[in-house]
Amino acid sequence: MTDSFEPKITAFVCNWCTYAGADLTGTSRIKYASNVRVLRLPCTGRIDFMLLAKAFSRGADGIIVSGCHPNDCHYTSGNYHARRRWMVYRDLMDFMGLDTRRITFSWVSAAEGARWAELVNEVTVAVRALGPYTDYRELALTGVE
Amino acid sequence: MSRIGVFTCHCGENIGATVDCAKVAACTRNVPGVVHSVDYKYMCSDPGQTLIKEAIKEHNLTGVVVAACSPRMHEPTFRAAVAEAGLNPYLCEMANLREHCSWVHGKADATTDKAADLIRVMVEKVKHNEPLHPIKVPVTKRALVLGGGIAGIQAALDIANCGHQVVLVEKSPSIGGHMSQLSETFPTLDCSQCILTPRMVEAARHPNLTLMTYAELEKLEGFIGNFKATIRKKARQLDEKLCTGCGLCTTKCPQKKIPDEFNEGLGRRGAIYVPFPQAVPNKPVIDKANCTFYRSGKCKVCEKVCPTGAIRFDQQDELVTLDIGAIVLATGFKVMRTDKFPEYGYGKYPDVIDGLQFERLASASGPTLGAMQRPSDGKAPETVVFVACSGSRDRSKGVPYCSKICCMYTAKHAMLYKHKMHHGKAYVFYMDIRSSGKDYDEFVRRAIEEDDVTYIRGRVSRIYEEDGRLVVKGADTLMGGEPVEIKADLVVLATAVQAQDGSEELAQKLHVSYDPYHFFAESHPKLKPVETNTAGIFLAGACQAPRDIPETVAQASGAAAKVAALFSRDELTREPQVAVVNRLPAPMFSYCVGCFLCQSACPYQAIEQEEIRGRDGSLLKTLAKVNAGLCQGCGTCVATCRTKAIDIQGFSNEQIFAELMTL
Amino acid sequence: MRIGYYPGCSLLGSSREFDESVRALAGALGLELVQVPDWNCCGASSAHVLDHKLSLALPARILAQAEAAGLEEILAPCAACYNRLASARDALDKDPVLAREMEKVIGRPATHKVRVVNILEVLDRFKDTLPGLLKVPFAHKVACYYGCLLVRPAKVLHFDRAEDPQSMDRLAAAAGAAPLDWNYKTECCGAAFSVTRTDLVARLSGKIVADAVRAGAEAILVACPMCQSNLDMRRTESNAYLGADHQIPVLFITQALGLALGIDANRLGLQRHMVPATFAPAAV
């Protein structure tokens, strides 16, 4: 880990809550670490965990998945599906020997601008300390792209 | 081949101050597939939009990325501009350089790099965008209103007055609901039936309104604009065309002692009855469970005396199927019964009654013709205790919420009692006084100051009977927690307002969400109080939450307005970001294997089954099919699909993978 | 049948007749009472108003003693002991951290799994055999008085209905009595204020006695030594408060049942009461 290592964080967020919350962070001019790249989805329920695997193989050092709070999903139940999938996926990741500390699953509502900034900063600091996620990347690069 | 145009906005200083827009536009030019990349001060302005439109034509663009503020802000603006230039609006995407970049990071190379990254992500996505067209769904301009109380009547009348057909379905023999049972309404002390019955008659006479009383919803199929409702018209045992409403049958029925529902068990009726004198329709119905003929085969007196021969003992229920475009749920509420209170006697004391029962006692058309009489012995009660918050705000009774109307109707009851018995003593045990509507607090003050009602702040711990009177044990917490014991002749419990019986079953039939107390769930508690998450079904009145008459009427009109808006066009257009199951040529037909995991994951029941048949009619395969009219585009089904046979237009797997590939 | 037995302090002191009648009845029913070895005071009213942990530790030791002796259930006839033991067991069951702490205090490991039952629950197990054993039906109108501690807090004790309990009424009926519907079944008698505020006990217990008489009762049946003592021993004071001269006797349910089974009144301790139990059979 060199001093100049800056982690790449990819964030999968839902349009109605977390994306809007991140917009609020912007409107409130709250500053946070710039390592994150946000990908917009209609709902966290849309997230197939193959997408997370792809993100890692493309060089993400850390991933954030964030959606509406339980009971508040714009589409009623998408976030419950996402949470359940996450439970299973986390065990699978563990089993495969992937680093589950690099994925953060959270809820940020459209009103929680400050929380989004806090989350991004926390994750950036944590992933910076873990260092670059080279294991998976190497695996991916040797395989078929 | 992709020909993408990228338009980077400075947004004045908002983006330009921290992101080097010119540099970003320049390096974007080098991205494969981008043929045009410029930056400009204000992209959303007229000249900015013109820039885009001209570039589309000049460079034959196949896709556009506007790198500016949040798409939640201006996506519609830029999509409209792009459409004007002749390019499908869904080939335009936005990169969020403002809320997600320039406003949250300092001026640095990292910020500009991030901006460039964000643009590249959207460029790659747009390359996979397909032209989409808004989905059109036809609309049947007939509304169904379930529930004939004031909410249902108001909504039905409003819709009918817009010129649309309405069917009003009510499960009891007459419309009117709980409002018809009230004696006077707060805060004006208007006679309830006097203000309600004109509306009831108007509903019966309105040319656009079809009234179906003594009827219930049997089944509902379909989706917004295209529902099919099956209504069960229960047999009244009457030929309604012949019945003149003379009422002779009701006076001759030998059964006299059946506790009647309209009077909350305090009055008696026969087996053939009209619920109340102003019932609409004013036609009787036979209560088969209690009728002598149905129980033992003898009697038929009503048939003999009927001057027009309208009685039909062999009449069966009738099922009617209707095409409906929109539904308004207005099924109202019920009140908790006194037998739910072990500390107040388990319901065994006839002189401990609930609020609706008091309304019937006070009502001029009630079992005592409005005279204050105790149910037990008919004597006038000299001391009456009113207990507010009976069951409400009480987790141990399963009702943590406030029932909203009780503070007001308790004050009203106390006043009505005092108006009828000037020398009587009225006490109200309360926790708080919630009188927040117009003229409401003044109304409560009037009860205290003018009508001499004694308000005691404390709860009642026990009520028991002693020598024919009720001993009420409570506390006066404002006097330091002193125990108070009052010997009363009548006790009125302001019991909790609860969801109507059968709400859960009805909600499940309609696929409408409901809360743990079985009140129907609105789409958004603040901004969408009359819509549900089920497209085309709206809410009015207390079936959503406890509420008083003015709010109910307002909400009913609100629901009617939503229905009218729906009916204002012949077709509904919807955003095309919906899921689609892929189709392939025979023999595969689709990657879909028919497991229907997607169907159970879909919160909107938007996935149907489609049968693929061979030329001989044999079933080859059953596939999932998305009803574009219902699909809201959440994508849960996509992630659930094992074979990746289903995908969402606008957020397809290709598009998202493409975005990821750039990072 | 055998069951663990926790008499508690009052059954060896001022309410000896409760202990005597329980043992006599148990003998007649074939129920073996195995006393909890080296039992200590449960803490009663005093411990729980002074120190929460003390109020748990004292019952915890009793439960541990019972467990060590291989007892799965303990019968605590005194309603207060029953309530303290059951509440402590519930608290320790729900909070494992607290439970570990209690083990250190009492100096031994314990599972806190011993069940605590009251006299009404135990007698209810014999409801089918009782009719066959009746010798002299207790043919009197009775007001069954439960007091506070047998049914509250309902969430911990899960016993009978909290507002209008019926278990004692059923036992009374099985003994041949006619249980009455009356209003003061679970109203407080004044409890431990018997000593410090006798005036309050006079008022509270007085009202209970008055209502039983108003309902037409010939006897009040109880299942708590404190209640019995307030309603019986403090009769002079409560009669003074009421300005009346009620002589209605107060019997333990075990005494009423014992009489019905033909057990001698002296063996049931009826002679210890202040207000004479004037309809004991000729044996007195």
The ipTM of this complex is 0.87
Residues 6+ apart with CB under 8 A from A77: A45, B601, B603, B636
Determine the Cα–Cα distance for residues A13 and B49; give it in Å rounded to an integer: 29
pLDDT at C283 over 50: no
Residue among C3, C1, C24, C2 nearest C253 (CA):
C24
The predicted structure's pLDDT at residue C280: 46
Determine the Cα–Cα distance for residues B130 and B127; give it in Å rounded to an integer: 9
Residue of A nearest to B604 (CA): A75
Give the one of B99, B111, B660 whose C-beta lies nearest to A27's C-beta.
Answer: B99
Q: State the DSSP H helix or E strand holding residue B403, giving kind and residue range, or none if neither.
A: none
For chain B, report the end-to-end CA distance as a whole number of angstroms.
22
Radius of gyration for chain C, computed over Cα atoms and rounded to the nearest angstrom: 19
Q: State the DSSP H helix or E strand holding residue C5, giving kind and residue range, or none if neither.
A: strand C2-5
Helices (H), B70-130: 71-84, 109-127
pLDDT tens digits, residue range C187-219?
A: 999 988 998 999 999 999 999 999 999 999 999
Residue of C nearest to B463 (CA): C183
The predicted structure's pLDDT at residue C279: 63
Q: What is the mean pLDDT of chain B?
A: 92
pLDDT at C282 over 50: no
Give CB contacts under 8 A, 24+ apart, made by C71-74.
Answer: C71/C3, C71/C4, C71/C34, C71/C36, C71/C114, C72/C4, C72/C114, C72/C115, C73/C3, C73/C4, C73/C114, C73/C115, C73/C116, C73/C117, C74/C3, C74/C4, C74/C5, C74/C6, C74/C36, C74/C114, C74/C115, C74/C116, C74/C117
Average pLDDT over residues B421-429: 96
Alpha-carbon gap: C259 to the closest alpha carbon of chain B (Å): 32
The predicted structure's pLDDT at residue C281: 44
Of the residues A12, A14, A17, A34, the best mutation for testing chain B's interface (the one with the most B CB atoms within 10 Å of its CB) is A34
Residue among B95, B87, B94, B96 nearest B130 (CA):
B87
What is the CB-side half-sphere exposure of residue C56 using CA atoms within 13 A? 19
C164 contacts B471? CB cut-off 8 A: no
Q: How far is CA B85 from CA A59, B49, B55, B62, B346, in A?
A: 38, 10, 9, 12, 74
Tokens 């679970």 -> residue: C186
| pLDDT bracket for residue A143 (50, 70, 90) | low
pLDDT at B376 over 70: yes
All structural domains of chain B, each given as residue ranges with its CATH number in brackets, are: 4-127 (3.40.50), 142-234+317-332+500-567 (3.50.50.60), 248-305 (no CATH), 334-498 (3.50.50.60), 579-661 (3.30.70.20)
Residue A94 lies in a domain: yes
Which residue would you say has higher pLDDT here, B644 or C209? C209
Average pLDDT over residues B475-491: 93
Give the one of B634, B660, B663 whose C-beta lies nearest to A78's C-beta.
Answer: B634
Of the residues A6, A13, A17, A23, the best mutation for testing chain B's interface (the one with the most B CB atoms within 10 Å of its CB) is A23
Average pLDDT over residues B483-498: 96
Q: Which residues of C touch B343 (CB under 8 A)?
A: 163
The predicted structure's pLDDT at residue C187: 92
Residue among B536, B511, B532 nearest B521 (CA):
B532
The predicted structure's pLDDT at residue A145: 45
pLDDT at C102 over 70: yes
The predicted structure's pLDDT at residue A1: 44
Give the one of B104, B533, B660 whose C-beta lies nearest to A51's C-beta.
Answer: B660
pLDDT at C284 over 60: no
Residue among C83, C72, C69 nearest C8 (CA):
C83
pLDDT at B366 over 60: yes
Radius of gyration for chain A, computed over Cα atoms and rounded to the nearest angstrom: 15
Pairing mode, strands B490-495 and B352-354: parallel
pLDDT at A71 over 80: no
**Which of C43-80 are b and which e, b meaning 16 or more Cβ less than 10 Å from the residue's Cβ?**
bbeebbeeeeeebbbbbbbbbbbbbeeebeebbbbbbb
Here the tokens at position B347 are 């319901």
Residue A73 lies in a domain: yes
Alpha-carbon gap: B344 to the closest alpha carbon of chain C (Å): 9
CB B447 within 8 A of CB B415: yes
Residue A1 lies in a domain: no
**Measured between CB atoms, does C216 come within 8 Å of chain B?**
no
Determine the Cα–Cα distance for residues B466 and B456; give it in Å rounded to an integer: 22
C214 contacts B342? CB cut-off 8 A: no
Determine the Cα–Cα distance for residues B212 and B317; give it in Å rounded to an integer: 13
Q: How far is CA B588 from CA B583, B643, C114, in A?
A: 8, 13, 65
pLDDT at A139 over 70: no
Give the one of A39, A59, A117 whose C-beta lies nearest to B656's C-beta.
Answer: A39
The predicted structure's pLDDT at residue B554: 97
pLDDT at B567 over 50: yes
Residue A44 lies in a domain: yes
C164 contacts B342? CB cut-off 8 A: yes
Determine the Cα–Cα distance for residues C233 and C226; give it in Å rounded to an integer: 10
| pLDDT bracket for residue A73 (50, 70, 90) | confident
Average pLDDT over residues C50-61: 93
The predicted structure's pLDDT at residue B617: 81
Determine the Cα–Cα distance for residues B420 and B124; give it in Å rounded to an integer: 79
Give CB contacts under 8 A, 24+ apart, made by B439-442.
Answer: B439/B187, B439/B188, B440/B186, B440/B187, B440/B408, B442/B187
Write the DSSP symbol of residue B379. P
**Measured between CB atoms, does C161 come within 8 Å of chain B?**
yes
The least confident of B594-603, C53-62, C135-144 is: B594-603
CB C167 within 8 A of CB C124: yes
State which residues form the domain around A54: 8-143
Give the one of B104, B601, B635 whose C-beta lies nearest to A41's C-beta.
Answer: B635
Q: At what angle do helices A18-27 and B71-84 cross, to 10 degrees?
A: 100
Average pLDDT over residues B257-277: 94
A45 contacts B634? CB cut-off 8 A: yes
Give the one of A20, A42, A77 whose C-beta lies nearest to B651's C-beta.
Answer: A42
Backbone angles phi, psi at C145, to 5 degrees: -110, 120
Burial grade of B387 (CB within 10 A; 0-12, 13-18, 19 or more): buried
Determine the Cα–Cα distance for residues B474 and B342; give it in Å rounded to an integer: 15
Which residues on adjacent β-strands are paired with residue B311? B238
A20-29, B7-16, B251-260 — which one is most confidently predicted on average?
B251-260
Where in B467-536 does DSSP place strands (E)? 469-476, 482-488, 490-495, 497-499
Q: What is the mean pLDDT of chain C?
A: 92
Q: Which residues of C touch B466 (CB under 8 A)?
A: 183, 211, 214
Which residues on adjacent β-strands are paired with residue B330? none
Which sign, positive or negative, has the C-alpha torsion C147, C153, C158, C160?
A: positive
Determine the Cα–Cα distance for residues B467 and B563; give it in Å rounded to an integer: 58
pLDDT tens digits, residue range C240-260?
A: 999 999 999 999 999 999 999
3-class secondary structure per residue, chain A: CCCCCCCCEEEEEECCCHHHHHHHHHHCCCCCCCCEEEEEECCHHHCCHHHHHHHHHCCCCEEEEEECCCCCCCCCCHHHHHHHHHHHHHHHHHHHCCCHHHEEEEECCCCCHHHHHHHHHHHHHHHHHHCCCHHHHHHHHHCCC
| pLDDT bracket for residue A3 (50, 70, 90) | low
A39 contacts B659? CB cut-off 8 A: yes
Backbone angles phi, psi at B519, to 5 degrees: -80, 145
Which residues on adjacent β-strands are paired with residue B63? B4
The least confident of A24-28, B230-234, C54-58, C215-219 is: A24-28
Backbone angles phi, psi at B279, to 5 degrees: -60, 145
Backbone angles phi, psi at B130, to 5 degrees: -110, 150
Which residues on adjacent β-strands are paired with residue B536? none
Instruction: Kindly list the partner chains of chain C, i.e. chains with 3 or more CB atom pairs below 8 Å.
Output: B
Looking at the domain C135-272, which fold is it? Rossmann fold (3.40.50)
pLDDT at B602 over 80: yes
Alpha-carbon gap: B342 to the closest alpha carbon of chain C (Å): 6
How big is chain B, counted in residues?
663
Looking at domain C2-119, its CATH architecture is Up-down Bundle (1.20)
Determine the Cα–Cα distance for residues B119 and A90; give it in Å rounded to an integer: 31
pLDDT at B519 over 60: yes
Instruction: Kindly list the partner chains of chain A, i.e. chains with 3 or more CB atom pairs below 8 Å.
Output: B
pLDDT at B524 over 80: no
Pairing mode, strands B537-539 and B619-626: unpaired
Which residue would you say has higher pLDDT here, B43 or C58? C58
pLDDT tens digits, residue range B306-355?
A: 999 999 999 999 999 999 999 999 999 999 999 999 999 889 999 999 99
Q: Is C161 left (phi over 0), alpha (psi -120 to 50) or beta?
A: beta
| pLDDT bracket for residue C157 (50, 70, 90) | very high
Here the tokens at position A131 are 């260092």
The least confident of A2-6, B55-59, B157-161, C13-17 is: A2-6
B639 contacts A47? CB cut-off 8 A: yes
Give the one of B342, B346, B464 whose C-beta lies nearest to C183's C-beta.
Answer: B464
CB B119 within 8 A of CB B8: yes
Average pLDDT over residues B138-158: 97
The predicted structure's pLDDT at residue C213: 95
- The CATH number assigned to the domain holding A81 equals 3.40.50
Instruction: Kindly list the partner chains of chain B, i.e. chains with 3 or more CB atom pairs below 8 Å.
Output: A, C
Determine the Cα–Cα distance for residues B253 and B229; give it in Å rounded to an integer: 36
Alpha-carbon gap: A14 to the closest alpha carbon of chain B (Å): 9
Domain boundaries, chain C: 2-119, 135-272
A45 contacts B72? CB cut-off 8 A: no
Residue of C nearest to B396 (CA): C155
Alpha-carbon gap: A136 to the closest alpha carbon of chain B (Å): 15
